[in-house]
Amino acid sequence: MYRVREGLGVWEHRGKVAAVGIGHSPTARRWDGTAENCIGAYAIDSIRKAIADAGIAADQVDGIVMDPGTTTGAHWEEGDPIPYDVVNAFNPSDDPLDGIAQLSTDWILKNMPELTNIKFTMYGPGCMSNAIAVGAQAVGDGLTNTCIVLKGWHNLAGRYYQGGAAASDTVSGRGVFDQLWGTRAGTTDAWNFQEYLDRYGKTHDMMAPFVVNSKANGLLFPEGFFAQHRPEGLTSEEYLAARWIVKPLNLFDMDIPIMATCAYIFTTPERAKDMKQKPAYILNHCTTRPKFGLHQGIDNAMLSTEATARKSYSGAGITASDLSFENMYDGFTVFHNHYLEGLGYAGIKKGEVLDFYQTDISRDGPNPVSPSGGNSGSGRTRFWAHTDTIQQIQGRAGPRQIRKRAEIGISGGPMPQLGEFMIWSSTPD
C-alpha cells in the first residue's frame, strides 16, 4: 500500500482518486469523561459530516480506512478503572477501551448502523498521512469505490508523555534507542535546529514570521482548537519573549495535544462527478523512511526530505515550480525548515529558509507557506494541512484561501525523516 522506493515512475493511479467530502468533530483540550465527548462519539460525528459534505447517502460508502491508534502520549494507565457508563452508552467491541482510548473499524460499524454496504476495511496506522496513502491506494486498486478515511486523537487527563513507559524507572524495548537520557519529543529536534543555526549562521528569532503567520492562519480555521477556544493572536514580540522548552525551541515552537477527529471521503473521478463538492485529485502518494534512524543530525533530515521531493515529484509527473503552495506537517515549527529546503519550494536552497521567512509567505503572497496554520495554528492532530490542501484545491478554504490560483499542493508528515506525503491537484492531469 506504500510507495517507498525511488524510481517507481508516475503513480499508476495518478488522478484516478479524489477527495470529495470533509468532516471535522468539535475540538477539546482533554476528554471530560463523558460519552458525548469521547473519541468514538467524535469519530461518528466527523464521519457523518463527511458523508453529508460529499452529498451522498451512507449506503454509497463501501470502505473504511483508518488509524486505530488515537494518541502518542496520553495512554490509558494499566489498572485504571474502566468507565463502563461510557462503554455501555455505545455498542461495545471486544475491547472496552475501544471508542475511548483507541478506535477500530469493528467499533465504528457497530455504532453506525447506516453503514450497510461496507465491504472493505483496512488500517493505516500512524497518522492521517498514513491513512490517506492507504485509502488512496485502495481506491486506485479498486478495493473500494467510495471510502471513509478517518483519524482521531484523544487526550486524557494528566501530562502528555508522563504516563506508561515514560514514567518507569528503566527504559526497555524501542525506548533504548529513541529515549536515551530521558529525551522526549522536541529534544532531538532542538539539537537539530541548533546544528542548523550554527552551520548557516542564523538565529532562532528568524523563525518569528513563520510562527506568527501559522498562528494567524490557524485562527481562520473554524474547526481548529485555537479558533474555537483561544482566539488570541500572536505577535512577533510575544513569540520572541516566550519561555524556552528545549532551547532553541520555545513554547510556540511546540504543538499542543488536543482531542479531535477528521474524516474524508475518497472516491473515483467518475463517481465524484455526481457528488456535491469539487474533487481534489491525488496525483501521487509516497513514503519516506529514515536512512539512519530517527534521532540524529540535520544531514539525515535533509537527505530524507530531498528523497521525499524526488519521489513526490516524479510520481506525480511535476516539478517544484508547479507547486502553488506548501502545507507540510509541523509538530514542531522547525520541521518546515527541512521540508521547504528539501522540496526546493520557491527555489529555496540549503541554508536559505530562514531568510525566506522574512519575505511574504502569507496566503496573499506569491509563495504561501502552511496556509492551514498546521498543528501550531490549530492543535495537534496531523490532519489540518490535509484538510486545508483539499479545501484550497476546491476553492472553499474561506478566509484562508490563498490569493494565487490553487492548482497543485503538497501535504504530509509526520516528520522530515519519515512519513507519507501526497500531491493534490485541481485537475486529474
Is the residue at 39 inside a domain?
yes
Is the residue at 196 inside a domain?
no
Looking up residue 141, the CATH number of its domain turns out to be 3.40.47.10
> Average of pLDDT values for 90-94?
97
> Average of pLDDT values for 243-252?
96
What is the reported pLDDT for 231? 96
CA distance 362 to 372: 11
What is the reported pLDDT for 179? 58
- pLDDT category of residue 170 using cuts at 50, 70 and 90: confident
Is the residue at 153 inside a domain?
yes
Pairing state between β 325-328 and 419-425? unpaired
- pLDDT category of residue 198 using cuts at 50, 70 and 90: very high
Helix (H) or strand (E) holding 286: strand 280-288
Is the residue at 38 inside a domain?
yes
DSSP sequence for 354-401: HHHTTS--STTSSS-B-TT-HHHHH-B-S-HHHHHHHHHHHT--GGG-
Pairing state between β 146-153 and 63-66? parallel
What is the reported pLDDT for 346? 97
Identify the weakest region by mean pLDDT among 188-202, 287-301, 314-328, 352-366. 287-301
> Average of pLDDT values for 153-170?
78
What is the reported pLDDT for 275? 97
> Average of pLDDT values for 31-39?
97
Structure-model confidence comparison of residues 188 and 249, the more confident one: 249
Q: Which of 233, 175, 247 is nearest to 205 (CA)?
A: 247
What is the reported pLDDT for 290? 78
> Average of pLDDT values for 49-63?
98
Is the residue at 410 inside a domain?
no
Is the residue at 239 inside a domain?
no
pLDDT at 241 over 90: yes
Q: Quick one: residue 186, left, alpha or beta (phi over 0 = left, psi -120 to 50 = alpha)?
A: left
Q: Which three cell numbers stand for residue 312?
A: 513526490
Is the residue at 141 inside a domain?
yes
Domain carrying residue 123: 18-159+259-272
The total of structural domains in the chain comes to 1
CA distance 38 to 259: 9
Q: Is 52 helix (H, G, I), strand (E, B) or coil?
A: helix
What is the reported pLDDT for 110? 98
- pLDDT category of residue 177 using cuts at 50, 70 and 90: low
Is the residue at 424 inside a domain?
no
> Average of pLDDT values for 224-253?
97
DSSP sequence for 395-423: T--GGG--SS---EEEEEEE-SSSEEEEE
Q: How far is CA 94 from the centre of its chain?
A: 29
Task: Convert 115-149 to b/e letters by CB count within 10 Å (16 or more is b).
Answer: beebebbbbbebbbbbbbbbbbbbbbeebbbbbbb
What is the reported pLDDT for 167? 67
- Cβ-based neighbour number of residue 27 at 10 Å: 21
Q: What percent of the chain has pLDDT over 90?
A: 86
Residue-level length of the chain: 429
pLDDT at 181 over 60: no
Identify the weakest region by mean pLDDT among 15-29, 152-166, 311-325. 152-166
Q: Which of 62, 72, 52, 70 is nearest to 122 (CA)?
A: 62
What is the reported pLDDT for 159? 80
- pLDDT category of residue 404 using cuts at 50, 70 and 90: very high
- Within the chain, what is the greatest distance between any pair of CA atoms? 60
> Average of pLDDT values for 127-135?
97
Q: What is the pLDDT of residues 366-392, one digit of tens each?
A: 999 999 999 999 999 999 999 999 999
